[in-house]
Amino acid sequence: MTTTFIKILALIFMTVDHIGVFIPNTPMWLRYIGRLAAPLFFFCVAEGFFHTRDKKKYVVTMYKMSVLMSLICVLIPQILFDGGIIANNIFSSIFQAVLILYLFEITKEDKPKRKKYFGFYLLYQIVVLIVWVALEFSGFFSLMYGLPVLGSLEYILVIALGSVFFTEGSLILTGMIILFYFSRDNKKKLTRNYLIYCVLYFLIFVPQFAVRGFGYLRKSGLNEGVKSLIQIAEIPFGLLGIETLRSAGNFAQSAFNVNFQWMMIFALPFMLLYNGKKGKGYKKLFYIYYPLHIVILYSISYICL
């Protein structure tokens, strides 16, 4: 399989998944099929970034697409419908991953420089996060809720500032691209690393240890001050992409109705069939198709309500 063929498969899986997301009363198995989409796209991103001649341009393009998608996610619901936001922006995850990889590539031969660049990147992310937390707890964003466009300023702002903590899937999915990049050209290494990744994902999400632990603490008759500290303690889990408040009644419900992203493990056979060739490319297909199909399906979902 070429990367072009894998991308087309990913587009199909993604479309099936988003039909399940946006269209009411669709069967759950559509979402299961969709779990294969992100890993296959990310696999192709890692390959594409390695082979591209202008890695800086690749990073800039992903940033522009992430900001553009954030505007689409806000403006379409605000202008055409009754407000709200579309919570889909895979470009934000891709941008963060390729930016990290770009910093790694340009500092290959200079370790002190690498420490400096990654130190600056980490510091910048912490500063942006602190500013967001301060604005959130000060009530700044809540003052604008209900106002056209400005009510979603928070989302546009964190995407424009390039916060790694507010990408789609947060650090967990962003890290998948980095995993693929450093596992490329070695199918045994790819298999081992991806299986470990999927198993860890399953163990973190499906048993719901964080959900149950924080839930127990909140119900323990603690005073309001302690409960506030617990809420603050939950923030790092959410920033990593671990939703501590998304609970399910039992293990089966968690595995097959709520936290079923672990099914991405079934994308591995398609990656192993990769033949190292690019294929025809269709470079702009994903850039156009992704936002277009999101807007169409969102519009259909609004009509169906």
- Series of mean pLDDT values for 10-residue runs along the chain (305 residues): 93 96 93 96 94 94 95 86 83 95 93 94 92 76 58 80 85 90 94 95 80 64 57 62 62 85 95 89 85 93 79
Distance CA 222, CA 244 (A): 19
pLDDT value of position 167: 87
Q: Is 219 exposed, middle or buried (0-12, 13-18, 19+ CB in 10 A)?
A: exposed
Give the torsion through C-alpha atoms of 44, 47, 48, 52, to 10 deg.
180
pLDDT value of position 213: 65
pLDDT value of position 129: 86
pLDDT value of position 8: 94
pLDDT value of position 240: 61
pLDDT value of position 154: 79
Phi, psi of 88 (to 5 degrees): -135, 115
**What Rg do the C-alpha atoms of the chain give, in angstroms?**
20
Q: Is 103 exposed, middle or buried (0-12, 13-18, 19+ CB in 10 A)?
A: middle
pLDDT value of position 241: 61
pLDDT value of position 185: 86
* Closest CA relative to residue 193, chosen from 36, 43, 33, 91: 43
pLDDT value of position 176: 94
Sign for the pseudo-dihedral over CA of 50, 53, 59, 62: negative
Distance CA 300, CA 292 (A): 12
pLDDT value of position 304: 76
pLDDT value of position 132: 82
SS3 content of the chain, % helix, strand, coil (to 5): 75, 0, 25
Q: Name the strand (E) or helix (H) holding 117.
A: helix 111-138
pLDDT value of position 82: 74
Sign for the pseudo-dihedral over CA of 81, 167, 57, 267: negative
Residues 16-37 as b/e (b if ≥16 CB within 10 A, e otherwise) read bbbbbbbeeeeeeebbbbbbbb
